[in-house]
Amino acid sequence: MWTEEEAAMMDKFSSSNRTINQDVNVYTCGSEQCAPNHTYGPTVRSGYMVYFVLSGKGVYQVRDHTYHLHQGQGFLIEPQTLIMVKADRNNPWKYLWIGFSGQSAEKYLTATALNSHDPLFSFTTDSPLLDSAHAVIQAAKVQENRNLAMTGKLFEFLYTLCQTHPRLSTDAAASTTELVEYALFYISQNFGDDISVAQIAEALHIDRSYLHRLFKRVTGQSPQAYIKSYRMQQACELLTTTALPISVVARAVGYGLWVAVLIFEGVSGFSGDGAEGVASK
């Protein structure tokens, strides 16, 4: 995990590596706080590049697609592919990148979920993938055995990428539905508690961002949105089929009283008049 001081030192840093390993090597890495509307491209790169949006917003254009990205999202650039990236005018992004090439680069990358059809991924500030990307950049700053240090950290980065965003095989694709079904079951059994996406991911023994991607792919909603929707459904059912006071219903679905009142009013049109009176029941 990086401190704020260490992150601040990386507002602008880039490194190129002229030592070539035939297997795989880092050919560029760095980070930059972009100016408003800063544009790179249209251009093509000679190797693969993985970008992390650390703050702000921007646009990534590749082929016929335009992706509007923000903090906590990343994207893949493939070699010999026309691309363009542009920082937002009002909230320009700060990003970090790792560029690599070599005979085995494509082979290693195909073990991940990133590809030309799905070049985006998500990450958190405490993600081991982000930590490993920072480690590659730190290795670029050493003086002795620099290429060895960078290559070693690159392998760690690629391994972590495979772990946090693995490619789904045919068999794994079938198990994707099972994972999401288990997540749905977990929510149905624990929605009355203060559950989080991290807890569900831990129960499934998968990365939190990976769960988010799978869940949204299958259900069309994020896990957090689904939990909120499920709680509302259960609350509305209790309110319409029982005489339970709001305070009891709120606790039953995992909400505090006044949070529940605000949500019920906003979503279902339920009136919170008298809520204060039933709070003590």
Is residue 76 a contact partner of residue 108, using CB atoms and an 8 Å limit?
A: no
Taking only the tens place, the pLDDT of each residue in 27-70 is 999 999 999 999 998 999 999 999 999 999 999 999 889 999 99
Domains 4-164 and 168-281 share a fold: no
Q: Identify which of 56, 78, 77, 75 has the alpha carbon closest to the alpha carbon of residue 67.
A: 75
228 token code pair: 């909120």
Residue-level pLDDT, tens digit, the chain, 281 residues: 444 444 444 455 444 444 455 789 999 999 999 999 999 989 999 999 999 999 999 999 998 899 999 999 999 999 999 999 999 999 999 999 999 999 999 999 988 889 888 899 999 999 999 999 999 999 999 888 888 999 999 999 999 999 888 876 545 554 777 888 889 988 988 888 888 898 888 877 788 888 898 899 889 999 999 998 888 888 888 888 888 887 787 778 777 654 555 555 544 444 444 444 333 33
Tell me which amino acid residue 166 is.
P
Could you tell me the sign of the dihedral formed by the alpha carbons of 170, 75, 62, 139, in that order?
Answer: negative
Is 168-281 assigned to CATH 3.40.50.1260? no
Q: Would you list the domain boundaries of the chain?
A: 4-164, 168-281
Return the CATH fold of 4-164: Jelly Rolls (2.60.120)
Tell me which amino acid residue 109 is.
L
10 token code pair: 């990386």
d(CA 189, CA 195): 10
- Strands (E) across 129-226 are located at none
Q: Which residues contact 4 (CB under 8 A, 6 or more apart)?
A: none
